[in-house]
A and B are shown apart, each in its own frame.
Chain A
């Protein structure tokens, strides 16, 4: 006596959906590289120049390290300041943009439009504007990073808020708590660890971003990176990159640790 297994429908048996999607994505990739004139072949034929650059960078000028320690320190300070200011402003906006907390579609729509707009502005453009306003220096960098972080963090935050368990909110509502108290008692504890994790992720991105911002005179390690590249002094470039890598790794380590502790 064998059990009659129900027949799988045709669609599932031949994995029509996953195969179909893979094909569509492949076709889109090939088509878009054709249309934009990206030549993959050139990447491989010019690989020699790339290795040449790597070889030149493979002898870091370690005596350059003491010189860049201070600007690196400044970069970290800029990143921390910018991320903190941006994230602080992001929290109320994230709350107002979350569809499970704000049922007014107009309010939510307007808030999201503002956030989209902020995210559309490229950070290099922002840096150029603020260097023009505040002059060359780290103030311009901090403001740029703050706005950049605000746009990014608020989106990450409201997406986290939309995944929370609504049960505690119902309980607090039944207790007779007002909106602000409900958010404080029932929403924030649920999202705190992910907030911290996203905050540190943004901090890490900002450390890297501020190296680029230095190009525009927005302070920090970027100024030195630009200088070394202009002088074709690749052994100095590699020291800067390695030092930045250490900072990024330290932040990553802190982030991993905090996530474990806060979970």
Chain B
């Protein structure tokens, strides 16, 4: 296992303006192609940690490197290019509910086009085919022209994954992707993420509440408590007792 890390955290701290500590001295590396699950209580800093990787949240000190490059100096176009290679999945799917599935999926591709082309919807035939293929991968190709709000929660999350695939991401960040889903659709969505990880070699980082799911899908589990990494083990070394420690109240 001597893969080069695709993401690395070095002494990362985040303190909110009101003094709340979001992240505290985070140090770890994520090798390329890993399926990493971050567990922890609500408010432990999981979402914050995830969003620092694509700079949706800024850090107070320390350094984050993506593909060996510090992401701190990025701004404007270079920041958008960083975000383009990092897909993101949300708890609430964050689709534009009144738009069609096709438009939602294609919106994942806009960063490959100049503004005027994306506004006029001038996507190439290749990319339109790519959108259908992305939907096929999440088994929803027949919903191409449906409006997003006609779909069930699980289907909406799959459309969100298809949108992310349009970015050709190297990394997928999934923030509680299954928190609003039932057990059956949970399995579908997690299986899709796992498949993208194994078939496409996309590095996947998922925030989860459920320890059982974490053990089922993860290559490695990181536990956060009050903004600190209190646990970090490959799946082979994970035991139930260890994980319970993560969920102890401070």
Q: Give complex CA distance A190, B104 in Å.
A: 13
Q: Give complex CA distance A173, B79 in Å.
A: 10
Q: How many A-B residue pairs have CB under 8 A?
A: 80
Contact A181 B118 (CB under 8 A): yes
Contact B107 A172 (CB under 8 A): yes
Q: Give complex CA distance A192, B103 in Å.
A: 15
A residues near B93, Cβ cutoff 8 Å: 167
Given contacts A170-B90, A170-B94, A192-B98, contact A175 B119 (CB under 8 A): no
Which residue of A has the minimal Cβ distance to B160? Answer: A171
Contact B83 A174 (CB under 8 A): yes
B62-100, CB < 8 A from A: 79-84, 86-88, 90, 92-99
Question: What's the tally of chain A residues with a CB closer than 8 Å to chain B?
Answer: 21
Interface assignment of B155: CB less than 8 Å from any CB of chain A: no
Q: Which of B84, B95, B99, B115 meets A175, CB within 8 Å? A: B84
Contact B86 A174 (CB under 8 A): yes
Min distance, Cβ B243 to any Cβ of chain A, angstroms: 29
Candidate in A176, A180, A184 with the most chain B CB atoms within 10 angstroms:
A176
Interface assignment of A120: CB less than 8 Å from any CB of chain B: no
Interface assignment of A168: CB less than 8 Å from any CB of chain B: yes
Q: Give complex CA distance A91, B54 in Å.
A: 31
B residues near A175, Cβ cutoff 8 Å: 83-84, 87-88, 107-108, 110-111, 163-164, 167
Interface assignment of B184: CB less than 8 Å from any CB of chain A: no
Min distance, Cβ B2 to any Cβ of chain A, angstroms: 31
Interface assignment of A54: CB less than 8 Å from any CB of chain B: no
Q: Give complex CA distance A192, B83 in Å.
A: 28
Given contacts A168-B94, A171-B90, A189-B98, contact A177 B163 (CB under 8 A): no
- Can you list, as one digit per residue, whether each of A136-172 has a CB less than 8 Å from chain B (1) or not (0)? 0000000000000000000000000000010110111
Contact B163 A174 (CB under 8 A): no
Interface assignment of A186: CB less than 8 Å from any CB of chain B: yes
Contact B88 A171 (CB under 8 A): yes
Q: Give complex CA distance A175, B54 in Å.
A: 10
Q: Give complex CA distance A165, B94 in Å.
A: 9
Q: Give complex CA distance A178, B107 in Å.
A: 12
Interface assignment of A185: CB less than 8 Å from any CB of chain B: yes
Q: Give complex CA distance A102, B58 in Å.
A: 19
Given contacts A168-B94, A175-B108, A189-B99, contact A180 B88 (CB under 8 A): no
Min distance, Cβ A189 to any Cβ of chain B, angstroms: 5
Which residue of B has the minimal Cβ distance to A185? Answer: B107
Interface assignment of B212: CB less than 8 Å from any CB of chain A: no
Interface assignment of B56: CB less than 8 Å from any CB of chain A: yes
A residues near B54, Cβ cutoff 8 Å: 174
Contact B81 A176 (CB under 8 A): yes
Candidate in B56, B79, B80 with the most chain A CB atoms within 10 angstroms:
B80
B130-167, CB < 8 A from A: 160, 163-164, 167
Q: Give complex CA distance A58, B103 in Å.
A: 56
Which residue of A has the minimal Cβ distance to B117? Answer: A181
Contact A177 B94 (CB under 8 A): no
A172-217, CB < 8 A from B: 172-178, 180-181, 184-186, 189-190, 192-193
Contact A185 B110 (CB under 8 A): yes
- Can you list, as one digit per residue, whether each of B1-26 has a CB less than 8 Å from chain A (1) or not (0)? 00000000000000000000000000
Q: Give complex CA distance A170, B99 in Å.
A: 16
B residues near A186, Cβ cutoff 8 Å: 96, 107
Which residue of B has the minimal Cβ distance to A177? Answer: B110
Q: Which of A168, A176, A189, A192 meets B84, CB within 8 Å? A: A176
Ranked nearest first, the 10 interchain pairs of A and B with the lowest CB-CB distance are A176-B111, A167-B94, A176-B84, A176-B83, A171-B94, A174-B88, A176-B80, A168-B96, A189-B99, A177-B110
A-B contact pairs, 7 of them (CB 8 A): A167-B92, A167-B93, A171-B160, A181-B118, A184-B118, A186-B107, A193-B98
Q: A176-B110, A193-B98 are in contact. List 13 more A-B contacts (CB 8 A).
A: A167-B92, A167-B94, A168-B96, A171-B95, A171-B163, A172-B107, A175-B88, A175-B167, A176-B83, A177-B118, A181-B118, A185-B107, A185-B110
A interface residues, Cβ below 8 angstroms from B: 165, 167-168, 170-178, 180-181, 184-186, 189-190, 192-193
